[in-house]
Structure 1
Amino acid sequence: MNIILKHKTVYIVTLIAVTMFFSCDNRLSDVQKMGISENEPIGVAENLNLKQIDSGRVEAILISPKMLDYSNRAFAFNEFPEGINLELFEKGKKTATIIADYAMIYNKTNLIDLQGHVILATDTKDTLFAEQLFFDQSKQWVFTNRPVTFRTGLDKINGNGFDSDAKFEKAEVLEINGIITLDE
């Protein structure tokens, strides 16, 4: 009887140990996520001054008071709740300045969403004023379906939408509702 009790005890202990062994899941990503809410940013940067440099030349300078990093989400993005000031350069020459009250950069789609008093000014003095503006980094395309004012040369064009390549060589104001030609 004593031997049967020992075998049952060993059997029960083995069963518990095997159950515990297979029920434990050792995923590093789950451990890293512990204590981090998906609704909270995984990182915060303040007084941001980023420079993108290629072959020793500055291509872009991004200045922002605050950036929130939500790369812990399934659809990762960076948020600039206090706005951005972005200067773009080509071959060492400043080509454009973009200012916005708020911005979001979506990492997977390479789309930048600029909102609130958006101003895009080029080195040729073309200037776009908009409530919201999207920039597709992959296609180098700027667009919106919101009201805009576009200054080019002596013309000031108002409309509801804008579509253009990044260099404004194919700029088009959509649904034009007014053109004013300014005196020199």
Structure 2
Amino acid sequence: MKAKSFKYIQLNLVIALAMTLFFSCNNDYNTVNNIDVLANEPAGIADSLNLKYTDSTFLKANLLSPKMHDYSNRNFPFTEFREGVILHIYEGNEKNTVFADYGIVYNDTDIIDLRGNVIIAMSTKDTLFTEQLYYNKENKWLFNNIKATLKSKDYVTNGVGFDSNDDFTNAQILEVTGQFAVTE
């Protein structure tokens, strides 16, 4: 008799559990939508970011940003700096600085996209001004195909497009525009 009552209790528990699951399921549109919203949330958010990169006790770079959003939980992971970014790069006693209103780093492609008031101030007093600039980390190459101005101590060059290696030793403005003085 005890075996039958135990099986009866088990059966009742299974039925109760199934009924609870059945009635607790909800296909409410807002609930389902919230699941999609959560899937789009960043894996992490950092406020007042002050990241320092060192090599052999020497400071090599310092990244500053009011806020960083980490989307490494996506199929195409990226890191976003919606409120701007400042990057100081140190080479010995020289410091180069990159400013941008917005930045995004695509993890899988090693491409950095800087937008809005992009300025690169070099220790050589050369300065690049543009509205968008890409950096290919693998090839160590900066480029764009929009208006850019390169100011140095001797000249100012305006044009559409910019190409350079990361130390600016091969920097060039493409499709140069403006007035030029020519001596014969």
Could you state the TM-score of these two structures normalised by the residue count of structure 1?
0.76
1:28 aligned partner: none
1:86 aligned partner: 87
Q: Is the 8 A contact 1:155 1:180 kept in 2?
A: no
1:80–1:142 distance in 2 versus 1, CA, 3 Å: same
Question: In 1, Cα distance between the equivalents of 2:176 and 2:168?
Answer: 17
1:109, distance to aligned residue in structure 2 (A): 1.3
RMSD: 2.2
Q: Does 1:46 align with 2:47?
A: yes
1:90–1:178 distance in 2 versus 1, CA, 3 Å: same
1:9-158 map, 5 Å: 37-91=38-92, 93-158=93-158
Letter in 1 for 2:175: E
State the number of aligned residues: 151
1:75–1:66 distance in 2 versus 1, CA, 3 Å: same
Letter in 2 for 1:64: S
Deviations 1:82-129 (A, max 9, x none): 0001000123x2331000000001111111100000000110011000
Letter in 2 for 1:77: F
Deviations 1:6-30 (A, max 9, x none): xxxxxxx9xxxxxxxxxxxxxxxxx
1:137, distance to aligned residue in structure 2 (A): 1.2
2:26 aligned partner: none
The percentage of counterpart residues that share the same residue type is: 46
1:140–1:95 distance in 2 versus 1, CA, 3 Å: farther
Name segments (4+ residues, structure 1) moved above 3 Å.
none
1:147–1:35 distance in 2 versus 1, CA, 3 Å: closer
Letter in 2 for 1:148: A
**Helix, strand or coil for the counterpart of 2:178?**
strand
1:175 aligned partner: 175
Question: In 1, Cα distance between the equivalents of 2:97 and 2:79?
Answer: 20
Question: In 1, Cα distance between the equivalents of 2:118 and 2:172?
Answer: 17
1:179–1:120 distance in 2 versus 1, CA, 3 Å: farther
